[in-house]
Structure 1
Amino acid sequence: MLFYIVLAVLAYFVFKGMKVEYIGVYPQPNLMSYFKTFFIYSLIQLRKWKAAKDAKNAGNAVAGSTKEAGYGVKSTQDVAKLEAAQDLESEPLAIDAVLFTGGSQDGRYMVISAARRQNNVLQCIFTIHIPGLGTLTHPNHPDTTLIQAPGETGWCAGGIELKPVVPMKKWSIKYKGDMILEMESGGSKLCQVALTGEYNSDLEYFDFDSDMEPLVVARAMAREVWDRQYFQRIRGAHQNHYEQFGILKANVLIDQEEYKLDLSVMRDHTHGSSRDWRLMHRYGLHNFTTRSGLKGFLGVISQPETFSHLELGYIYTPDKVKQPVQEVDLDLWKLGEGGLDPSDCGFRFKAGGKWYQVQVEVLKKVEVMFGENWEARVIERFCRYKINDEAGWGVSEWEYRHREGKNKNTSCYTEVSSEQVLTREASFEQIDDTMNETLVVVEDIQDSDKESVSSKERSKASNSSSSGSSSSDSSSEEDK
């Protein structure tokens, strides 16, 4: 009987877990995490095996419905269905978003994205950097919210038009309208811009529902406290997401002067019933291309309601082999936790059983805000990379939870000063208060110790002085 009681208690702690958090946000692994990791890893592998078996029996049919997808299972095998604009249904926080982001070896960069939301809202990012000229941004920035005009459908609004042409092969990218140019020579001006581009790829897409390394997902889930509400949250927050690298070539007319873009870009497509920026604490993501043709996307996401520390990503080797990332050695709490993203940092990641050392140098930043009340601050960072000492280029995207509301005077070029610290979670404030109280106590103890030491030193000095006087008097008497 005692054996079963002990077993039940052990099982409770294994599956519920004991959550020890770093600075109130990032849970750290403990002994029970290993058991939980093995359990989730086994479940994901079982789901992958069953989905593969079902897909084989059904030919090229659906391997899993949208609601059943994720954790080893694709939402569908039909790429035409994947690439099409998805039904937002009646979910108030539903999202259907596409993104193209990347750069070239000669220092040209572009980020263009469009996220379909309810009520004809399209949340967009559009920025281009051309060396010698400057950085162009959409005139609506830093706000990203655009409203589609009557007749506009899909990913079209505010002059932006993103359309799939051949599923997983070709997309059309267009823009026509004003943009604000921050000139390298100084100052800024309004320009008329027309961009016509085409994205092409022959690479296999990476489906985060089915292609992620199971052990990475298992480790992330094992950090969390398990209960029924937790598993309901991760199911409710799940988004179908896939990515692909390719080449984007475009002609850009800026006040009738022509420029050409030939960029290695990462594109993605996300669809889900709920994206609530208020739940996201922060993330740090990187995409890069090297001279040899190594391409990669990876980073860490912190969304405490579901995954407080989720490592994710993949690479394409120079011979176009797709490999999931097995580990990302990047601790967010060590890099810009207060709101100032690092302009120069290093970390490492593992893919295909091989470790890669990464060095990042940020050349230029553009900040935009997401949400009705600007709940998220997203920083697009144009970067130079070194991957195992090989030169590369790409775009890094960092995000922070924003709690200061809208500020119409905010510039998308405004740098965050080292003194500026964003408002943190209540737990952060409690930790800060606790730390301050601790410092006060330490300072009081130190002051007390100093007074004690000073008192002792004065006493010793006094004794020494008295002793010296006596010795001096004795010597005088002897001399006499």
Structure 2
Amino acid sequence: MFYLLVIFIFLLSGVYFIVDPAPILGIYQVWGKWSWIKQWIIYLGIKYNKRKKTGAVGHKKAGYGLKANDDINTMELPQKLGEHPLAVDAVWFGGANKDGVYLVISGARRQDRIMQSMLFLYIPGVGLLQYPNHPETAIQQNESESEGWIGGGIHLEPVEPLRKWSVRYCGELINVCTKQLYRVDLDLVYNTNLKHFDFDSDMNPWTVARAMAREPWSQEYFARLRSAHQNHYEQFGSLTGTVDIDGEKQKIEIDVMKDHTHGSVRDWTLMHRYGFHQFTTQSGIRGFLGVVSQPGTLSVLELGWILRDGQPFPVQDVDFQIWNFGEGGEDTSDYGFRFQAGDVWYNVQVSLVHQEKGRAYYGHDWEARIVERFAKYKINGEDGWGVTEWEYRNKEGKIVKIED
């Protein structure tokens, strides 16, 4: 026993003097000498949280295995904004169908009755239409509109919790390529009976722990991590209804994902970039996954989930080294990667349907540049369709020219 103890101390002392490798590109933290131990510490902490309390704990204590709200009668409603100037309450709908119709529509409630919104609609034969105010996303609400996700012709309203939403737009949209204006009336209903996925409580503990284990720890680090936390859940469903473009009406049905985020702070200056992928396959597998890089808290966070045979499975691994894809600011158009969920590995091939992309900026000084891309997928060889959203930190301030 004595000799084993001596050997253990010798090995531990050797590890102590190993120098951790530098972050990739000075941004993305890599695995260090203590990372395995740190991963186990976080993993066990999350498992303990889950075992200790199964019910909701409220916004400020949520995360790391604990959900903020489990009352479906209130969780879908507009949430009270906190006092912080960067408090947020946001919903997002995005997806496509196999016929090539694509839609992204969103609303993020902020202080001073500002709603930051995106609206991109692609109709084959018409092209990519966008909200005329883009790339700006800020919409000024009146007093009655500020109680919900309403403004500038956009109307997103929960009707039945986790079952039905009203998704509407009435106004002008502009063709990204031709600059032609169209009068558009979008009248859709979101319906679902599928399970939702709560990122506070349902993410894979080992994956979350792996992300935190990469980072240098300190008391300040955990304070930053807590202050940056946002409650977030997602749910797959379908949008059905009509779109009227200059008096020509057609029925549409789109496979979409809805998400709802509520947080004390959404500070786009902290986000370096992310790459998300939302898809539906012919057999009905649905997924949302990607990698987020927020230096100072989680510089490499793999996240997401899939819905297979009606059951949600959190992402266990995302083999998508984001620094190899568009790090210079130009998003990649044709690429592949792998991810694991439900103990199954999936090969993903992404190819853009066309080079027309939705571009928008978020923040008072346009701190974040968002690129919405409409894609065809191959998931383990099976055809799929959906949206891929990339974000980059924009340090140039407000600019007028948008990339061709």
- Which SS does the other structure have where 2:314 is aligned? strand
1:164 counterpart residue number? 158
Deviating more after overlay: 79-88 vs 101-110 = 79-88
Residue equivalent to 1:306: 297
Residue 374 of structure 1 and its aligned partner are, at CA, apart by 0.7
Letter in 1 for 2:366: W
Equivalent residue number for residue 25 of structure 1: 27
Query: Match for residue 377 of structure 1?
Result: 369
Answer yes or no: is 1:336 the counterpart of 2:326: yes
Q: State how far apart, in whole Å, the 2-side matches of 1:376 and 1:250 are.
A: 32
TM-score normalised to the size of structure 2? 0.94
Q: Match for 2:187 among 174, 187, 196? A: 196
Which residue of structure 1 aligns with residue 46 of structure 2? Answer: 44
- In structure 2, the CA distance between the partners of 1:42 and 1:19, relative to structure 1 (3 Å rule), is farther
Aligned-pair CA distance for 1:250? 2.3
Corresponding residue for 2:254? 263
Which of 392, 395, 399 is matched with 1:407 structurally? Answer: 399
Could you tell me how far apart the structure 1 residues matched to 2:81 and 2:69 are?
Answer: 17
Which residue among 297, 308, 316 is the counterpart of 1:326?
316
Q: What secondary structure is seen at the aligned counterpart in 1 of 2:86? A: coil
Shift of 1:18: 4.3
Q: CA deviation at 1:30?
A: 2.3
Q: In the alignment, does 2:205 pair up with 1:214?
A: yes
Name the CA distance, whole Å, in 1 between partners of 2:74 and 2:185. Answer: 30
Indicate the residue corresponding to 1:367 in structure 2: 359
Task: Pick the structure with more strand per residue.
Answer: 2
Deviation at 1:182, TM superposition (A): 3.7
User: Which amino acid counterpart does residue 129 of structure 1 have in structure 2?
Assistant: Y
Greater than 6 Å deviation, 4+ residue runs:
none
Q: Is the 8 A contact 1:288 1:392 kept in 2?
A: yes
Contact 1:19 1:223 in 2 (8 A): no
The amino acid across from 2:44 in the alignment is: S
1:81-160 equivalences under 5 Å are 81-152=74-145, 153-160=147-154
Q: Is the 8 A contact 1:328 1:350 kept in 2?
A: yes
Return the alpha-carbon distance in structure 1 between the equivalents of residues 278 and 346 of structure 2: 14
Unpaired runs of 5+ in structure 1?
A: 56-62, 416-480
Distance 1:19 1:147 in 2: 47
> What secondary structure, in the 3-state scheme, does the structure 1 residue paired with 2:201 have?
coil
- If asked which structure has higher relative contact order (CA below 8 Å, sep 6+), I would say 2
Letter in 1 for 2:165: W
Deviation at 1:65, TM superposition (A): 1.7
Query: Aligned with 2:274: secondary structure?
Result: strand
Residue 188 of structure 1 and its aligned partner are, at CA, apart by 2.5
Aligned mates of 2:46, 2:109 — CA distance in 1: 30
Which residue of 1 is the match for residue 57 of structure 2? 64
Does structure 2 retain, via aligned residues, the 8 Å contact 1:71–1:210?
yes
Partner Cα distance (2:101, 2:364) in 1? 31
Q: Is the 8 A contact 1:98 1:268 kept in 2?
A: yes
| Secondary structure, aligned partner of 1:128 | strand
Alpha-carbon contact 2:113-2:143 (below 8 Å) kept? no
Shift of 1:229: 0.3
Q: Which residue of 2 aligns with 1:275?
A: 266
| Residues 102, 264 of structure 1: 8 Å contact kept | yes
Unpaired runs of 5+ residues, structure 2, are none
Aligned to 1:245: 236
For the 8 Å contact 1:19–1:224, the answer to whether it is kept is: no
CA distance in 1, matches of 2:326, 2:143: 42
| Counterpart position of 2:346 | 356
Give the aligned partner of residue 462 of structure 1. Answer: none
Q: Shift of residue 66 of structure 1?
A: 1.1
Shift of 1:19: 6.2
Contact 1:221–1:307 (CA<8 Å) still a contact in 2? yes
Find the aligned partners of 2:46 and 2:298 in 1 and give their Cα distance.
Answer: 16
Work out the CA distance in 2 between the residues paired with 1:245 and 1:65: 24
Normalised to the residue count of structure 1, the TM-score between the two structures is 0.79
CA displacement 1:82-120 (0-9 Å, x = unmatched): 101111131111000000000000110000000000000
Report the Cα offset of residue 305 of structure 1.
Answer: 1.7
Aligned twin of 1:463:
none
Query: What is the SS of the residue equivalent to 1:381?
Result: strand
Maintained 8 Å contact 2:20/2:33? no
Determine which structure has the larger helix proportion and give its number.
1
Q: Give CA deviations for 1:61-98 in whole Å, capped at 9, x if unaligned.
A: xx212111011001121012110111113111100000
Instruction: Tell me the CA shift for residue 149 of structure 1.
Output: 2.2
1:352-402 CA-partner distances (Å, limit 9, x unpaired)? 111000000012411111111111100000000000010000000000000
